[in-house]
Structure 1
Amino acid sequence: MASLALVAPASASGGIQCDGGDGVSAYLATGHLPVLQVIGAHVEAGGAAWSTGPERGEGTPFVVGQAFADNQQVLVDFTDPNIEAILVGLRLRFDGSEDLPLTGMLTVGGNSFPVQCGEG
Structure 2
Amino acid sequence: MATQEERYFGSGRYRVWVYACFRVYNSDYDSFLDWALRFYRFALKDAKIKQALAYRRNWEAFLNAGALYNYATGSGYIDSIKNIVKTYQLYRYDVPVEYWNLLPQVARIMPVKSS
Normalized per residue, which structure has more helix? 2
Higher relative contact order structure (alpha carbons within 8 Å, sequence separation ≥ 6): 1
Please indicate the TM-score interval, normalised by the length of the shorter structure.
under 0.3
Normalization by structure 1: what TM-score?
A: 0.22
Normalized per residue, which structure has more strand? 1
Larger radius of gyration: 2
